[in-house]
Amino acid sequence: MNFMKKLGIILVLQLSTLTIISQNTDMKLNELNSEEKRVIISKGTEYAFSGIYDKFYEEGVYTCKQCDAPLYNSTSKFNSQCGWPSFDDEIDGAVKRIADADGRRTEIVCANCGGHLGHVFLNEGYTSKNTRHCVNSVSMNFVENQDKYKKALFASGCFWGTEYWMEKQEGVISVVSGYTGGTIDNPTYNLVSSGNTNHAETVEVTYNPDLISYNDLVKMFFETHDPTQQNKQGPDIGTQYRSAIFYLSDEQKEIAEKYKNILIDKGYNVVTEITKASKFYDAEDFHQNYYNNKGTMPTCHVYKAKF
């Protein structure tokens, strides 16, 4: 590739990053030091094994150093021993991929502000997702879940569909499919599917209460499934597919009951259980982010306004 053509491609890529930033002129950007500018603005790379998050595995969320947008959940972080923080999945819609000018690698940038994060590599076999986001520590901050974010637990039939709709809500940080409400420890999909564990297919929603309220999540829960169906949802039948809200506080219980009663007053025969939360167990990797990975939409979870 001749020099002028390569220079042109580089300029196009830089302009595309600037376009991401210009789409929101009111975006508040944090002040960066010289090293942060070298990596985030000038697309540099920090030295291997030098970043503060290389061997860091606390529970929480990694956010963009430049704009504070959530990027990665700690549950997606793994030890690749490459010298940089590695993640096998991003928070839905948080990261944009751009082909490098030489065509050899794929750059990843913050979808909100365009700040450089690192590169993404596929099919290396580190995890079942076969994806490695190789990210510069200097491009991120870390926020412990308990400092800012809250959790909610919802069951509305097959957790694939519940997950799909919750992930689409602005202010939702992450959604994990799993099992809760049953009588055995460490349940598997096969055990839960037998209908003998009393566990329900459930999603654990981590959300930013400054951007979305528990009230909004409860309304979305009721509006994306049929809460009048007893122990079933569409073609899925069994107690594992029951409609249920597992509350984590008295406030959540009160809010859940309020919206259930609103629907009852509207004439809906709501059978949704409102139960105190017990331990939540993550489902197998195959079930996580199912419809986004598949590129399709759920058929038994369709949005219908009810409030």
pLDDT tens per residue across span 269-283: 999 999 999 999 999
Q: Which residue has the tokens 């999540």?
A: 217
Q: Could you please report the per-residue DSSP string of 6-46?
A: HHHHHHHHHHHHHHHHHT-TT-------HHHHHHHTT---P
116 and 140 fall within a common domain = yes
Pair 238, 268 in one domain: yes
Q: How far is CA 16 from CA 21, 47, 95, 96, 295, in A?
A: 9, 26, 14, 11, 25
Residue 285 per-residue DSSP state: G
Whether residue 163 is found in the same domain as residue 288 = yes
Q: Is the pLDDT of residue 214 over 50?
A: yes
Let me know if residue 82 belongs to a domain.
yes
Phi, psi of 191 (to 5 degrees): -65, -45
Same domain, 238 and 186: yes
pLDDT above 50 for 294:
yes
* DSSP codes joined into one string, 60-108: EEEEETTT--EEEEGGGEE---SSS-EES---TT-EEEEE-TTSS-EEE
- Assess whether 78 and 120 both reside in one domain: yes
**Distance, C-alpha 130 to centroid of its chain:** 18
**99 and 190 both lie in a single domain:** no
Out of 99, 126, 144, a domain closes at: 144
Q: Is the pLDDT of residue 100 over 50?
A: yes
Number of domain units in the chain: 2
| Residue 103 is assigned to a structural domain of this protein | yes
Residue 303 maps to a domain: no
Question: Residue 101: is its pLDDT beyond 90?
Answer: no
Side-chain-side CA neighbours of residue 110 (13 Å)? 26
Residues acting as catalytic residues: 134, 158
Distance CA 81, CA 251 (A): 43
Of 144, 164, 186, which marks where a domain is finished? 144
166 and 229 together in one domain: yes
Q: Do 154 and 287 reside in the same domain of the chain? A: yes
The burial of 210, by beta-carbon neighbours within 10 Å (0-12 exposed, 13-18 middle, 19 or more buried), is given as exposed
Tens-digit pLDDT profile for residues 3-43 = 344 434 334 444 444 444 444 445 679 999 999 999 999 99
CATH at residue 55 = 2.170.150.20
Higher pLDDT among residues 288 and 197, named by residue: 197
* pLDDT for the residue numbered 147: 60
Specify whether the CB–CB gap between 89 and 54 falls below 8 A: no
**Which structural domain range is residue 214 located in?**
149-294
What pLDDT does 263 receive?
A: 97
Q: Could you say which of 144, 160, 182 is where a domain stops?
A: 144
User: Does one domain contain both 37 and 109?
Assistant: yes
Same domain, 87 and 214: no
How many percent of the chain have pLDDT more than 70? 90
Residues 86, 61, single domain; the answer is: yes
Which residue from 99, 134, 95 is spatially nearest to 111, judged by alpha carbons? Answer: 95
- For the stretch 241-269, pLDDT in tens is 999 999 999 999 999 999 999 999 999 99
Contact between 221 and 173 under an 8 Å Cβ cutoff? The reply is no
